[in-house]
Structure formats: C-alpha cells, structure tokens
C-alpha cells in the first residue's frame, strides 16, 4: 500500500523504488533505531529527563512516533520480501513446468529414435533375408539344364494369375 503510494506519487517507478529501498534500507532503519534509543533515554530516563526537562515530553513523542515508524517500515519490508519470494516461487514453478515439458519431449524423442532404430534393424534384416532368397533363387535358375525355360510354376509360390495378356 505504501509502496503503491510512492509509485503513484512519482511518474518514474525507478524513483519510487529508490525511495522505498532507501526508507527500508539497513542504514535508514539503523538510524531510526538510534533515534528511538536516544529519545527513550531522554524521555524516559529520570536523570536525563530532569536535566533536559523541556525536551522530555518532545522526546517521549518522538520515541512513540519513531517506534511506530520503525515497526511500520519493518512490517512492510517483511511483507515486500514475502511478496517477492512468492513471485520468485511462481517463476520457479513456471520454469520447472517448462523443464518438465522439455524432459517429456526429450523422452518422447528418445523413444521415437529407439523405435526408428529397431524398425531400421528389422528392415535391414528383412532386406538381408530377401537378398538371400534372391541369391538362392538365382542359384536354382543357374542349376537348371534347359536355358530356354528358366521359370517353373513352383518358382511362384503364390501363383501368378493368368490374366490372359500372355
């Protein structure tokens, strides 16, 4: 809410971010803590408050206001850090989702490559078997005595249909 006020008050978000970072910085919070300590000593310590009598009431007021400001700034600083952590968790979850999708795609690609390799090996085996059958058939044709009739009906196990074109 306060950060939004700073962002709405200034045109540039760089300025509002700078002012918010300056207000919640370690140095600013330490200086505010030092002011609280001094105001507490002046306002509530009887020896010092009698010496600085006129400043005691003002010191008590400064102590209360500075303490409220410190609690306020620490609370919003913690809230900003929680919001930033939640945003980072969301980004990490989104990136984890992308990584999971990429891993799934990689797994699918590896499976496809393995399947293709198996199919390639099976095709090579079928081609080798077909070549062996062709070589065997070639040897049987060479072994026939009559060179005029190289083919016999048993050369066609599925039988060639007679479509009347011969």
Looking at residue 146, its pLDDT comes to 62
Q: What pLDDT digit, counting tens, does each position of 71-98 carry?
A: 999 988 898 889 999 999 999 999 999 9
Looking at residue 12, its pLDDT comes to 57
Looking at residue 140, its pLDDT comes to 78
Separation between Cα atoms, residue 62 and residue 57, nearest integer Å: 9
Q: Where are the domains of the chain?
A: 2-89
Separation between Cα atoms, residue 97 and residue 104, nearest integer Å: 10
Stretches in the chain below the pLDDT threshold 50 = 166
Which residues contact residue 73 at a Cβ distance below 8 angstroms, ignoring those fewer than 6 apart?
23, 24, 28, 29, 32
User: pTM here?
Assistant: 0.50
Angle, vertex CA 127, rays to CA 123 and CA 130, nearest 5? 140
Looking at residue 52, its pLDDT comes to 76
Looking at residue 57, its pLDDT comes to 84
Q: What pLDDT digit, counting tens, does each position of 36-45 carry?
A: 999 988 888 8
């Amino acid at each position: 809410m306060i950060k939004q006020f700073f962002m709405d008050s200034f045109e540039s978000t760089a300025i509002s971010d700078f002012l918010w970072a300056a207000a919640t910085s370690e140095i600013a919070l330490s200086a505010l803590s030092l002011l609280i300590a001094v105001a507490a000593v002046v306002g509530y310590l009887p020896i010092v408050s009698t010496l600085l009598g006129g400043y005691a009431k003002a010191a008590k007021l400064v102590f209360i206001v500075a303490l409220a400001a410190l609690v306020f700034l620490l609370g919003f600083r913690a809230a900003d850090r929680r919001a930033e952590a939640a945003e980072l968790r969301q980004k990490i979850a989104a990136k984890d989702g992308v990584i999971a999708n990429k891993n799934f795609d990689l797994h699918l690609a590896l499976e496809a490559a393995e399947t293709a390799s198996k199919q390639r090996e099976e095709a090579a085996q079928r081609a080798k078997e077909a070549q062996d059958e062709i070589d065997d058939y070639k040897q049987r044709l060479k072994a026939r005595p009559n060179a005029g009739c190289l083919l016999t009906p048993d050369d066609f196990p599925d039988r060639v249909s007679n479509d009347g074109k011969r």
